[in-house]
Structure 1
């Protein structure tokens, strides 16, 4: 059986030789960013401008070329992404397929998706083309490939073609989702696991008849997981891939999943939104964020490429910290800076008043 290949060398369906590509997926053997310099001096030495989209999630960095990062800068960037959830870069025209793959491999083994179309020469590079609409997850909050035994740590997405209007992507902070839960709900969820399934892709194979690039897995993960880089707790369920909460009734499972999904959708303070430009890149931590595309760009088209880094098997450490606790020191520093600026302004005004009196 020959593979189905679309324009631009996009492989849509496996042939017999490539039908086990995704079965080679494995877990990371180290935690990228865990031992990075907490101050990230090497990374920020090249940053010319930093724009925080919100206090706790989302940052845009200028002055960085992702294709030119040193090993130390790469490690510090991994740590920064784990802290900020998602980091954005503009004007990354030199991040071609080769450099895209090289950057991802610095942080771990790259995932080969069992169904989504990929580049013929680089099966780790998946192609998100709106013309292949049955494969997109627009308007569906999710964490990439959470159905795998070792789901994604980082995802690196670059858009080569963008619509004239619409087509944004939104991320939501699952650290903050955990932090805002009441203690009784936290205690309940910390003792639970959930089954994450690839059912959505199984349905697509049945409808399309296309052969997969490997096994479509189901996996069990903790509902609350610990990010190994930050040590913070986050909620790890999502509407696309989480089939059920284990060990509870079907109605209880539905209530829990619906409740958490409702918070992700409605709590605007958890969210940041990126308006894409050509050659923009977003890198996010799937262990601590959810994301969704916004399906508002028809009749325009968009086309992006993504590599996905396989992480560790999800775990929960009861001794884990939280973003909220770590944020306390930052918040105090911000308040102190604002108070100092206000006092300086008052002092300056007093001096002017005294001079003119």
Structure 2
């Protein structure tokens, strides 16, 4: 205690005395360090590349809370794949190269431009997407052909769904914009920040009465690594089940809901352009062109099995979700780069984003989501 008092006494005396040599040296050192640090930070700022913003600012996500859409109405639909030549001569020409990513889904394609395909070629594209589930077109000029042409091509596959809550391009509600940078991460906000991982398997807007078919996704800005998409084959997931279990699932229906998505947007001050709907769809659906059967449940939007009690529904859906998510041998990881266009069939697949890249890195992509038929029960 006495030692402490002596120290206080000495420190108090210092306040009335002239600065010591040691204190002067310390001041000089501290001043030099601060000066060097400031100078260093200045040089770092000069050397650091300035963020010029998105490469394609036209597609920066636009949110207008006053924007409203009418309820969707049933329309007649014929899948363009029904008109396609099975040999696909207008899509897979002599200069086209293909490489399957896995036996069950995914094919990389180079040597052909989607923007230059004829109507026959687009029909064949619909068929090929149904057969291979996911197509990865490399080195495409699709991102540079302008919104009108992009929409025109996508409309070949059905009326384009206008998303009720996501960012779109101003004046072009057909575009569903996927965007993340250091200041914006809606994907993580939507899933919540207290999760171990952010994998979220879903089939796009499966709550619609007429769900998406052949879907387009084009990349504008992409990290050098990460920011990929996981895809799985719901058709192969169905085939892996025993015949008896398959028969038990056929005929069941499940409710798909847009309510949670709409409520999340409302809570954060975002738009709800169309009032949320809940729609019943078959648990197993059949593709209108290939006849292939596929599971049609997903964690993102499926809420319950119709006619089942709560515990029964939760038990069955949990089994199916676990089966889908653990099926690494019928999943792929689609890798991207600017210029990549992914075309997939939403009726036969589920997918999940991967938020595995540094939050300071920009990722920017756009989806065009043509709607197809009312799901056909198996």
Instruction: Give the TM bin, normalised by the shorter chain.
Output: 0.7 to 0.9
TM-superposed CA distance for 1:90, in Å, is: 0.9
**Structure 2 residue corresponding to 1:282, chosen from 324, 339, 342:** 342
**Which one of the candidate residues 315, 328, 333 is aligned to 1:273?**
333
Q: Does 1:133 align with 2:185?
A: yes
TM-score (norm 2): 0.78
1:243-322 alignment to 2 at 5 Å? 243-299=303-359, 300-317=361-378
Residue among 131, 145, 158 paired with 1:108: 158
| Residues 212, 184 of structure 1: alpha-carbon distance in 2 compared, 3 angstrom cutoff | same
* Structure 1: 5+ residue stretches without partners: 1-6, 318-357
CA deviation string 1:158-191 (max 9, x = no partner) = 1101113211111100110111101221111102
State the partner residue of 2:148. Answer: 98
Tell me whether 1:35 sits opposite 2:87 in the alignment. Answer: no
Residues in 2 aligned to 1:47 and 1:175: alpha-carbon distance in whole angstroms: 31
Bigger Rg, which one: 2
1:124 aligned partner: 174
* Stretch moving more, 194-203 or 130-139: 130-139
Distance 1:255 1:27 in 2: 35
Shift of 1:142: 0.4
Alpha-carbon distance between aligned partners in 2 of 1:295 and 1:26, rounded to the nearest angstrom: 35
**What's the TM-score, normalizing by structure 1?**
0.82
1:86 correspondence with 2:134: yes
Matched residues in 1 for 2:235 and 2:95: separation? Answer: 26
- Aligned counterpart for 2:69 among listed residues 14, 17, 20: 20
CA RMSD across the alignment: 1.8
Q: Give 1:340's aligned residue.
A: none
2:214–2:369 CA contact under 8 A, matched in 1: yes
Distance 1:26 1:118 in 2: 23
Q: Structure 1 residue 24: deviation in Å?
A: 4.8
Higher mean C-alpha displacement, 95-104 vs 294-303: 95-104
Matched, 1:57 2:105: yes
Q: What is the DSSP-based 3-state SS (H/G/I as helix, E as strand, rest coil) of the residue aligned with 1:51? A: strand
Counterpart Cα distance in 1 of 2:76 and 2:172: 20
Q: Which sections of structure 2, spanning at least 5 residues, go unmatched?
A: 1-56, 192-197
Conservation of the 8 A alpha-carbon contact between 2:233 and 2:331: yes
The alignment partner of 2:248 has SS state of helix
CA-to-partner distance for each residue in 1:73-127, whole Å, 9 max, x for gaps?
Answer: 1001100100110101011134432332122101111110011110112110111
For 1:156, which of 196, 216, 227 is the aligned residue? 216
In structure 2, distance between residues paired with 1:28 and 1:90? 33
2: CA distance between counterparts of 1:74 and 1:46?
A: 17
Aligned match of 1:229: 289
Task: Tell me how far apart the structure 2 counterparts of residues 28 and 287 of structure 1 sit (CA, whole Å).
Answer: 17
Q: 2: distance between equivalents of 1:297 and 1:190?
A: 40
**C-alpha distance in structure 2 between counterparts of 1:46 and 1:308, whole Å:** 30
Q: CA deviation at 1:267?
A: 1.1
Indicate conservation of the 8 Å contact 1:197/1:241, yes or no: yes
Partner of 2:298: 238
* Secondary structure of the structure 2 residue equivalent to 1:119: coil
State whether residues 62 and 167 of structure 2, in contact with CA within 8 Å, keep that contact through their aligned partners in structure 1: yes
Task: Write the deviation string for residues 300-345 of structure 1: whole angstroms up to 9, x where unpaired.
Answer: 220101100111110114xxxxxxxxxxxxxxxxxxxxxxxxxxxx
- 1:252-308 CA distance string (max 9 Å, x none): 111111111111211111111111111101010010000111110122220101100
Distance 1:40 1:105, change over 3 A: same
What's the CA shift for 1:146? 0.2
